Amino acid sequence: MWYKCSIGFLCIIFCLQIGMTLIHPAIGSDQKQISSIQPVPEVSPFIIDEIELKQKEMRDTVVLVQANNRSGSGVIIDCLETDTEEIFEYRVLTNAHIIQSRFITYLRGVNSITGKIKTETVEISCGIITFDHANKDWDQHTAEVIAEDVQYDLAILSFLSDQEFAIANMANEKMLSQVRVFDEVFAVGCQLGRTPMPTTGIVARILTKYDEEREWIIYLNTAQIAPGSSGGGLFKEYNGHYYLIGVPYQVSVARNGQFIPHLASAISLTAAKDLLDHSLISYP
């Protein structure tokens, strides 16, 4: 009797399990497979808008600067109207050391009397490449040197175009005075001669130097840069927008001569005030 009851009880349990499987297909042999499928999360429109804002106010404003056998970066900081309709003059802030190679010295002979070598130094034009990241396109322009400050390693170039390019927001003196260690910053430059690439880091140290004319501030930061980043932009966020606060110009070097890519230097815009005034660019 006990044996027959046990067999009947097992049959009832087996039938109940089959019934539950038919009613709830997720319960049974396919449970693991179905539970592993996760819904695709929706992308917040706010995140897309923030990325587009970073693109427009930082990466879109950076250009590639070429001078003979050397290349670097630059930031579009102003746009001026010209006498020609629909042609604009753009001003680009960069490092002076990038365009130094625009001077070429040729050997012209030897003085037959004194034996002195005759040379001639010729200045060749610089080039600027602008990028259309949305359409993955680029354009090359001939640039002119408007102003140059070798002491502070800064220069301003000019080029003409009928296209509309993004203009960088420039931090004013009040904004620059608020820069502190641990502030998040973005470095955007044409590393290794490629299209502008952003990296991020923090301000690690603020060095202040003085001379007879002005204050010279250097931002040591951890945003990684490489050869070709010089002349690009160091940006910081203020009230939801991104402002140019400095110009990266060198990577730190260890005692053994090796580069330290995660520790870079950028010249604060405070050193560029006189240069900008000379170039008729309004300094906020």
d(CA 255, CA 267): 23
- Region 212-228 average pLDDT: 86
The class level of CATH for 48-278 reads mainly beta
What's the number of CA atoms in the CB half-sphere (13 Å) around residue 265?
Answer: 15
Q: What is the pLDDT of residue 187?
A: 96
The tokens of 154 are what?
């800064």
Q: Is the pLDDT of residue 7 over 60?
A: no
Residue 2: per-residue pLDDT: 44
According to the model, what pLDDT value does residue 130 have?
95
Residues ≥6 apart with Cβ < 8 Å to 82: 88, 89, 160
The predicted pLDDT at position 112 comes to 66
> By the 8 A CB rule, do 86 and 25 touch?
no
* Mean local confidence (pLDDT), 65-72: 88
Residue type, 74: G
> 168-200, pLDDT tens digit by residue?
999 999 999 999 999 999 999 999 889 999 999
pLDDT tens digits for range 42-58? 555 655 688 999 999 99
Going by C-alpha positions, the residue among 195, 200, 242 that lies closest to residue 73 is 195
Token representation of residue 226: 């490489």
> Which amino acid does the sequence have at 133?
H
Tokens of 113: 């009397």
- Split at pLDDT 50, 70, 90, the class of 33 is very low
